[in-house]
Structure 1
Amino acid sequence: MRKLGMIGGMSWISTETYYRRINERVRREIEPMASAPLLIESLDYRQLWGLLDEGDWSRAGDILEESAKRLADAGAQGLILCANSMHRLYDRLTDAVSIPVLHIADAVGAKMKADGATKNAALIGTRNVMTESFYRQRLVAQGIDLLPPDMSFAEQSDRIIYEQLMQGRAPRDAERYYRTVITQLEQAGAKAIVLACTELAIVVDVDANVLPIYDSARIHCNAAVDWMMDG
């Protein structure tokens, strides 16, 4: 298998999910005693959240760029960034290293296209992922038709993600909230839901909804394992 570098810590909850899912898939595909060859750098998220302007994002890009270089220098043959929102800085990573960086939205779009789930998809995640072009354009490029972002729940969703899920808390009211959101999106015409936040599967049952739910973290992990085993 190829050796994969993981830029994590955004949050550590998400990074733990990536580590577990990648290794569970490797074990299923190869043998029970197999484990994935990984290099993990878990960053201090205090330096990477609450980014308000381009200056903040530029400083975050410096941090991620240096992390990517360290992992490549340590022997990683490819990289993944274990967070949706930080893919706003994807081009900084690809410019910094000569090894491939697997984009999370590309993986999600490819999976949806393969399933034929290309019409009226809705994104759920942090505000910047739902509204900015860096993520949406990647899905559209794969032929995914996206509904306009519903800003009526953006503030509450941000609060739950940053104040609860990223801190390892999964209260029942968060589960009820996202169940309501998904119902409202379905009523608005959504035919598929993208969980464009790597922690959302903590409170959204991906396999127990009427609409198809595309968990970006799960799909990204599977794409990473496919790449590792293709070496």
Structure 2
Amino acid sequence: MQTIGLIGGMSWESSAAYYEMLNTGVQERVGGLASAKVVLASLDFAELTALQEQERWDDVAALLSDAARSVEAAGADFVVLCTTTFHQVADQVADAVSIPVLHLADVVAQACKAQGIDSVGFLGTEFAMSHDFFVDRLASHGLTVRVPDKADHAELNRIIYDELVHGEVLDTSRRTVVGLIDQLWDAGAGGVVLGCTELELLVHQADSELPLFPSTTLHVTAALDRALA
């Protein structure tokens, strides 16, 4: 079994979900007392968010690159960034280490294509929806990517940062997000990417007739495939 290097803390709720799902997955696949071999570097979400708001992306890249080097030095065979928004600097992180970085957008795009879907909606943080770094990476796989109207970005961002990162899951917010999924369906999306770990705490496939692609679940599955190959 290979050792998975996790870069987490963005948010810690997200990292906890990665850790739990990785170990559950190993138990299901291997059985017995098996658990995932993991090295975790957990960063300060408040510090990174402040740097993001100041658009100090070189400093963000430096912090994440240092974390990646630390998990490589600790024996990780590849790196998983437990975040969507901070994939903004994924290429810089990949350049900082000699082990692979398992890019979330590549994993999600492959899952969409495997189901024959070529037009997807994307839900995530306001930053991820309004910038091109993640959407363009999805599109590089031949996908047409749609995001909600800009007027809806702030409310989705509020749900993520004011509620979900604190473990608060509200039915009213679930209805809001399901409404956005329906809007993307009407706009021509054949499926919707839940591009934020916290959204997977709120919305599940049973809430939508449209195929949902939970990015964290897919990321974990790809990490397990690599680690156990």
TM-score range, shorter chain: over 0.9
Deviates more, 1:162-171 or 1:185-194: 185-194
Letter in 1 for 2:188: G
2:11 counterpart of 1:28: no
Q: Residues 39-85 of structure 1, C-alpha deviation per residue, up to 9 Å, x if partnerless?
A: 0111111111141343x222111111111111111111111000000
Q: Residues 177-207 of structure 1, C-alpha deviation per residue, up to 9 Å, x if partnerless?
A: 1111112222222221011111101111134
The aligned length equals: 228
Alignment of 1:46-125 (within 5 A): 46-50=46-50, 51-54=52-55, 56-119=56-119, 121-125=120-124
Residue of structure 1 in register with 2:181 after alignment: 182
Cα distance change on mapping 1:34 and 1:207 into 2, 3 Å: farther
Deviation, 1:19, is: 0.7
CA distance in 2, matches of 1:29, 1:129: 33
Other structure's SS at 1:101 match: coil
Output the aligned Cα RMSD: 1.3
Cα distance change on mapping 1:207 and 1:224 into 2, 3 Å: farther
Cα distance change on mapping 1:187 and 1:73 into 2, 3 Å: same
Residue of structure 2 in register with 1:144 after alignment: 143
- For structure 1, the 5+ residue unaligned runs are none
Deviates more, 1:194-203 or 1:184-193: 184-193
Q: So what's the TM-score if we normalise by structure 2?
A: 0.95
CA distance in 1, matches of 2:59, 2:146: 32
CA distance in 1, matches of 2:105, 2:34: 28
Deviation, 1:149, is: 4.7
Other structure's SS at 1:48 match: helix
Q: Contact between 2:4 and 2:78, CA under 8 Å: does it hold in 1? A: yes
CA distance in 2, matches of 1:99, 1:13: 26
Residue of structure 1 in register with 2:202 after alignment: 203
Cα distance change on mapping 1:165 and 1:148 into 2, 3 Å: closer
Residue of structure 1 in register with 2:6 after alignment: 6
Q: Contact between 2:148 and 2:183, CA under 8 Å: does it hold in 1? A: no
Residue of structure 2 in register with 1:218 after alignment: 217
Deviates more, 1:140-149 or 1:83-92: 140-149
Q: Contact between 2:7 and 2:67, CA under 8 Å: does it hold in 1? A: yes
Letter in 2 for 1:203: L
CA distance in 1, matches of 2:171, 2:155: 15
Alignment of 1:151-190 (within 5 A): 151-190=150-189
CA distance in 1, matches of 2:146, 2:8: 30
Letter in 1 for 2:164: L
Deviates more, 1:90-99 or 1:136-145: 136-145
Q: So what's the TM-score if we normalise by structure 1?
A: 0.94
